[in-house]
Structure 1
Amino acid sequence: MIDYIKGVLVEVEPSHLVIETTNGIGYQIICANPYRFTGQKNKALTVVTYHYVREDFQRLYGFKHKQERSLFEKLLSVSGIGPKGALAVLAAGQTDQIVEAIEREDEALLTRFPGIGKKTARQIILDLKGKLEDFTTASLLQETPLATSKQENDQLADALEALKALGYVDKELNRVKKKLLGEDLETDEYIKRALALMLRT
């Protein structure tokens, strides 16, 4: 297993990063929210990875820390969840929120993630409840006041593209877009805000 990749971040795309290592190889690493790494572009960094191997393809998934990767692995162990679904659940970057939903048996919250229906949400709870002691639980994401300006910007557009790559549909994105138009945030912050809004609706 490839435990981590260390190199220079050369690209940040809606669905992945590209990290160039010292031997000149560029690794494409799929992430739940690649824009969390934007501030480190053209700098050296280390990304914790999970090497997903199947007969017909291989993918490298990246995470900010090992706890996030561990939760990704646990989600993959649930019947009916693949890497894309697991990433959609992790996209908010709040492992404690996900653990809290599982421990509370909050099916309604889990089904708000793309690709997670009632049956899969129930399976997540059945398979993982009581088995996440290593993860800390805390309060859910807090909303911040909305501004009044109505201008869209490149950061918001990038955030919506990243969410679309995770499986969110235009109807959901257009609804939160209206609420985010007045905010002046970085791309990763827009993603977190959009996810928080969608999880509360």
Structure 2
Amino acid sequence: MIDYLRGQLAHLETEYIVLDVQGIGYRVFCPNPYVFAGKSEETITVYIHHHVREDAILLYGFSSREEQKLFRKLIDVSGIGPRVALGILSGGNPDTVVAAIHQENITFLTKLPGIGKKTAQRMILDLKDKLEGLGGTASLFDPVPAGASALQDSVPGWPEAREGLRALGYTDAELDQVWKNLKDQVGVDEPVDSVMKKALKLLYAG
């Protein structure tokens, strides 16, 4: 089974990247492909979950071991497949997802793509005692970042997407700027992962 791939970014789409490893292009589905944007000249390491089913062999890739480990924990939960687990990680970074499970924060979990109340409860029941070493120190009850409160009323997915982008290293100033272009591209019911991917695309474009 493939555990990681090291190569150069050959292509990037909204759901996956193509990683060139010694002349072979691997399509790798990622929570947020744009975290690899701008690295086409570098050799990058992508941590892999190699998923085999009857009709397909799929590669899911992550920028960190923590994401990879959390993904594997998530797909062990009944009702959560690889696509839903990928959506969870695109809607929240590992620290916030783990914190939500530890704090039994069903409100936060049900805002993640593909997660209803019963699945959120199952996540808490199955994973609360199995996430040691996967972070979760972040508080989900911190004040909303400056500039975000007014946006929450218009597009509920933006504050959560914003938190995920801040965890990737983007500043509040950069996120305030990207919102000016993003707000006309998203709907009021748009999922968090979709909002985040659109924001990353704008951030990459500069």
The TM-score normalised by the length of structure 2 is 0.72
Identity of aligned residues (%): 42
- What stretches of structure 1 move > 6 A for 4+ residues in a row? none
Residue of structure 1 in register with 2:201 after alignment: 187
The Cα shift of 1:174 comes to 9.2
SS of 1:29's equivalent in the other structure is strand
The Cα shift of 1:173 comes to 2.5
The Cα shift of 1:69 comes to 0.4
Q: Aligned-pair RMSD on alpha carbons?
A: 3.1
The Cα shift of 1:150 comes to 8.0
Tell me how many residue pairs correspond in the alignment. Answer: 170
Kindly indicate whether the alpha-carbon contact (under 8 Å) linking 1:8 and 1:41 is maintained by their aligned counterparts in 2: yes
SS of 2:101's equivalent in the other structure is helix
Residue of structure 1 in register with 2:78 after alignment: 79
Residue of structure 2 in register with 1:5 after alignment: 5
Kindly indicate whether the alpha-carbon contact (under 8 Å) linking 2:6 and 2:43 is maintained by their aligned counterparts in 1: yes
Kindly indicate whether the alpha-carbon contact (under 8 Å) linking 1:32 and 1:87 is maintained by their aligned counterparts in 2: yes
Kindly indicate whether the alpha-carbon contact (under 8 Å) linking 1:31 and 1:62 is maintained by their aligned counterparts in 2: yes
Structure 1 residues 150 and 125: CA distance shift in structure 2, 3 A = closer
Map residues 120-199 of structure 1 onto 2, 5 A cutoff: 120-136=119-135, 137-140=137-140, 143-145=145-147, 147=176, 152=181, 170-173=187-190, 186-187=200-201
Residue of structure 2 in register with 1:166 after alignment: none
* Greater displacement, 140-149 / 76-85: 140-149
SS of 2:112's equivalent in the other structure is coil
The Cα shift of 1:41 comes to 2.1
Structure 2: runs of 5+ lacking an equivalent? 149-175
Q: Match of 1:74, as an amino acid? A: K
Kindly indicate whether the alpha-carbon contact (under 8 Å) linking 1:78 and 1:123 is maintained by their aligned counterparts in 2: yes
The TM-score normalised by the length of structure 1 is 0.73
Structure 1: runs of 5+ lacking an equivalent? 161-169, 191-201
Structure 1 residues 174 and 44: CA distance shift in structure 2, 3 A = closer
Kindly indicate whether the alpha-carbon contact (under 8 Å) linking 1:36 and 1:188 is maintained by their aligned counterparts in 2: no
Map residues 49-64 of structure 1 onto 2, 5 A cutoff: 49-64=48-63
Kindly indicate whether the alpha-carbon contact (under 8 Å) linking 1:16 and 1:28 is maintained by their aligned counterparts in 2: yes
Structure 1 residues 188 and 97: CA distance shift in structure 2, 3 A = farther
